[in-house]
Amino acid sequence: MGSGAAYGVGMTKVALVTGASSGIGESIAVHLVESGWTVHAVARRVDRMAGLAARGVTTFAMDVTDDASMVAGIDRIIEEQGQIDALVNNAGYGSYGPVEHVPIDEARRQFEVNVFGLARLTQLVTPHLRTRRRGRIVNISSIGGKIYEPLGAWYHATKFAVEGFSDSLRIELAPFGIDVVIVEPGPILSEWNTIARESLVERSVGTVYEDAARRMAVLLERVDTSRMTSGPEAVAEKVLKALEATNPAARYPAGRGARAAVVARRLLPDRAMDLVVRQAFTS
C-alpha cells in the first residue's frame, strides 16, 4: 500500500494533532516539531499547551464535538499555511462501567469524541489532501480495538469502530494519493488510565458489578505503574514513522505488549480469548 508520498528534507510539512494538551498528543506534537514539521496542536484547553507553544508549536482551542470549532480550525490552518499534509486524530478518552448502568448520553459522548469527531475532521481535511494528491491521516486507535474487557464495552465499541472506519477509508482514499494509517497503543502512562478507573468504580458502586469493578480498577492501577506500561513517546515514535515512511504499514502497534496482544487475538479462538480475559479481569 502507500502513495509513496513521503516528505523529504527541506519540504514544507504541515500537521494537525488533536488532543494535544497532555500525554500521547503532546508527545506527538513534540516529536513532529523536532523533526521539522510545522505543527498545529489543538485541545479544548489552550492553557495546558503552553509548553508546546514554547517549543514552536502553534496551539489553539478546538472541541471535536463542536462542528463550528472544527471548521474554523481547518480554515485557520489553510489560511495561515496554504496547505495541510497530515492529520493525526488523537483526541479520545476511555469511559468505563457496566453497560447496564452507563447512561446512554455518556455512551453517545464517547462516540462523539472518539469516532464522530475523528470522522468529521477527516471530512474537512480530505479535500485539501486530495487536491494535492498527497497526505496522511493517522488515526490513534488502541489494542482495545482488537481485544476486549468486561465493563469497558462502550470504549471498546468506539475503538473497534475506528479500526473499521480506517480500514475502509484507506482503500477509499488510496486512488487520491492519501494514506490512512492506524496506530494501536498498548498500556501507556497517561491520564487515560485514571479516567477509566474512576468512571469504572463510580458507575458500579451499589450495583452487582461493584466487586468486579473494584478488582479491575486495582488491576488497571497496577498496570499503570508496572513494566508493562510505556511512555507516550512510544506512540509518538510510531506516528512519526507512519508519517515519514515512503510506504507506511496499514497499522502500527505501539508500546510494550501491544503487538503480543494483537497477535494473541488473531490466533486465539473466541472461547480461548474469553477465558484469558476472564482470568485477567475477574479472578
Measure the CA–CA gap between 33 and 41, rounded to whole angstroms: 10
- Residue 17, beta-bridge partner list: 41, 88
DSSP string, 30-71: HHHHHTT-EEEEEES-GGGGHHHHHTT-EEEE--TT-HHHHH
Measure the CA–CA gap between 211 and 203, rounded to whole angstroms: 12
Residue 155 is a catalytic residue: yes
Cell of 113: 469524541
The answer to whether residues 196 and 153 touch, using CB atoms and an 8 Å cutoff, is no
Measure the CA–CA gap between 220 and 21, rounded to whole angstroms: 23
Q: Which residue has the cell 497517561?
A: 190
Task: Kindly state the helix (H) or strand (E) to which residue 273 belongs, with its residue range.
Answer: helix 270-282
The answer to whether residues 138 and 130 touch, using CB atoms and an 8 Å cutoff, is no
Q: Which residue has the cell 477509508?
A: 169
Nearest CA-CA partner of 239 in 185, 159, 186:
185
Query: Catalytic residue among 96, 155, 209, 252, which?
Result: 155
Cell of 224: 499503570
Measure the CA–CA gap between 177 and 184, rounded to whole angstroms: 23
Known catalytic residues are 155
